[in-house]
């Protein structure tokens, strides 16, 4: 599989004058991940998980974390003073289970949960979760077919139809019917890759990234966010406020300046980045 980091939109990605990175060259010639250099002392990295860092599995519980990825994340976290975090739609506790024993800072539940350091408590949004009656009605959509999986994330509900793609239109029609009149006026319906997620408005991955960037060890650094889906758009949208860089996975998206072809390309880049100083000392 080729290592592909392709450019989708021109932006000025020059770092500070004293930076020893080659990022400023990306606006002219997009190099492969092996040549992408970062000043790790002044950079923060934020990673979506499903479809970005990990390959999408038939069901949410079937995702797997390659051992070399955990090692690379651990090395990068140590090298960057902890300024690397997950920004995901999954609850933070679920991310801990998936990546166990690795724990990292995280914005979970699309920004509904924040953990600034691995040892901190999880701070949860005070915004109300889905109404119980609405949650029950949406859950019934899973009765359309055994291949439709309804994932209750606490702060949101995700309806996966990856194993029954022929029901995509019907799933959306049922959601529209359930959310008639003012019933869902304070909610967001986010279509993704063979999944639709319903969540309260008032927080998203953008508010999660902003909260992390307002606190140590992220404050004052330049953020890089990598994501792959519609739910990541909110995070891409706030990057200009921090002179940040957006990288998409699987194709160009608004707010992303570069694109990795596949999650395995992201993992390879992170692994090489985690060994950047080792190579320089040789």
Strand 149-152: give its sheet, edge to edge: 149-152, 157-160, 195-200, 187-191
**Rounded distance, CA 231 to CA 243, Å?**
21
**Rounded distance, CA 23 to CA 10, Å?**
13
- Cβ atoms within 10 A of the Cβ of 80, count? 21
8 Å CB contact between 256 and 266: no
**Rounded distance, CA 15 to CA 256, Å?**
17
- CA nearest to 156, candidates 196, 211, 209, 207: 196
Q: Which residues are catalytic?
A: 48
């Amino acid at each position: 599989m080729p290592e592909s980091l392709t450019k989708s939109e021109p932006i000025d990605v020059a770092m500070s004058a004293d930076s020893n990175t080659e990022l400023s060259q990306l606006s002219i010639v997009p190099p492969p991940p092996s040549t992408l250099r970062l000043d790790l002392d002044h950079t923060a990295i934020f990673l979506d998980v499903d479809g970005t860092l990990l390959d999408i599995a038939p069901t949410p519980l079937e995702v797997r974390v390659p051992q070399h990825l955990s090692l690379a994340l651990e090395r990068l976290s140590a090298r960057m003073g902890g300024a690397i975090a997950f920004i995901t739609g999954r609850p933070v506790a679920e991310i801990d289970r998936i990546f166990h024993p690795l724990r990292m800072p995280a914005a979970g539940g699309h920004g509904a949960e924040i953990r600034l350091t691995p040892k901190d408590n999880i701070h949860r949004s005070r915004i109300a979760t889905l109404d119980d009656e609405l949650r029950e009605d949406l859950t019934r959509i899973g009765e359309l077919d055994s291949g439709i999986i309804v994932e209750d994330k606490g702060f949101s509900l995700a309806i996966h139809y990856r194993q029954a793609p022929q029901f995509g239109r019907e799933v959306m029609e049922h959601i529209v019917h359930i959310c008639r009149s003012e019933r869902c006026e304070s909610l967001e319906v986010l279509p993704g890759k063979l999944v639709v997620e319903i969540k309260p408005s008032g927080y998203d991955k953008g508010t999660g990234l902003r909260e992390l960037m307002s606190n140590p060890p992220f404050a004052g650094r330049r953020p890089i966010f990598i994501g792959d889906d519609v739910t990541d758009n909110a995070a891409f949208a706030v990057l200009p406020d921090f002179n940040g860089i957006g990288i998409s996975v699987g194709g160009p998206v608004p707010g992303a300046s570069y694109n990795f072809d596949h999650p395995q390309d992201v993992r390879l880049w992170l692994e090489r980045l985690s060994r950047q100083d080792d190579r320089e000392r040789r």
